[in-house]
Amino acid sequence: MTTSLTLTRPDDWHLHLRDGAMLNAVTPETARDFGRAIVMPNLVPPVVTGAQAAAYRDRIRAAIPAGSSFQPLMTLYLTEETDPDDLAQAHADGIVTAAKLYPAGATTNSASGVRDFDKVLPVLERMADIGMPMCVHGEVTDADVDIFDREAVFIDRVLDPIRRRVPDLKVVMEHITTKDGADYAKSAPGKLAATITTHHLIINRNHLLVGGIKPHYYCLPVAKRETHRLALVAAATSGSPCYFLGTDSAPHMDALKENACGCAGVFSATNTMSCLAHVFEAQGALDKLEGFTSLFGPQFYGLRPNADQITLIKDGAVEYPAKLTVGDETVTLFDPGFDLKWRVA
């Protein structure tokens, strides 16, 4: 029985750090285990220019614990007014790694997102020219489309047409939740990939709804049927470079989660590696964990893997604080619903 596993230090290819007191509280949780993270730009107001991305990067760096080598990889929030020249210059200067496309209204702080996708085609063409990846929240927001179908419909109505019009654009389908997403993500190796979250590998919609609404399992895209969860597990543990880790760790204060209109987001930065080791071990795929967490993301983004390593140890039950304190408030950590046995040494 394997009780120790050494991996290239992992990266998180989809992370929310927020700002202010929340930023200062949650950044050390990611920096503890991860070497790099793609940081989402959906602040209020959003990060839409290279100068804003540089300023946000400085605030993140100030929150990184002393002695940590953690590196935030910044993104720009695409709007219908995004300046292609500013975007290209920020990329050339090493300020931003990717740009994020949010359909307007699809998720937290996405009101400034794109409504007319034709209007962003010139920016996407420029991104293709300079090799800058587009990260995409893949859901339509049409009121007549059921929330459980919005990912599959987005692929057909929006993503596939965009990729046909801009075939050289590198696209990361973020936080896929369906078999449809997993199948589409492997259709163009090297140009198309997908991130999979910790929580979508573990929970389905029953966890959210059966026995009462569980607000700390509510996220967008929402968890789907068990058949889709199993498809995600199969994809993540397959050893295919089309899939890599993006936790979508998205902290909200408990008071904002536990109310009549609770925020969407699961905070999982603290215990992700313990959770993933459990999932991969259950599939007999611990040998595939390094690729998913540490190798395939850098490969897609054209970066080197991290130079250092972490070691996971299985030596009995692992306890994590259920809540993270942020000023006078708290953020609840993702509860996988089973005992965790693996920990980062």
Scan for tokens 């190798």, then name that residue.
295
Scan for tokens 């987001």, then name that residue.
265
Q: Distance between CA 175 and CA 241 in Å, rounded?
A: 15
Q: Distance between CA 296 and CA 168 in Å, rounded?
A: 19
Question: How many Å is the maximal CA-CA distance in the chain?
Answer: 56
Q: Distance between CA 218 and CA 87 in Å, rounded?
A: 33
Q: Distance between CA 228 and CA 197 in Å, rounded?
A: 13
Q: Which residues are catalytic?
A: 248
Q: Distance between CA 224 and CA 209 in Å, rounded?
A: 11
Q: How far is CA 188 from CA 78, 176, 192, in A?
A: 23, 16, 5
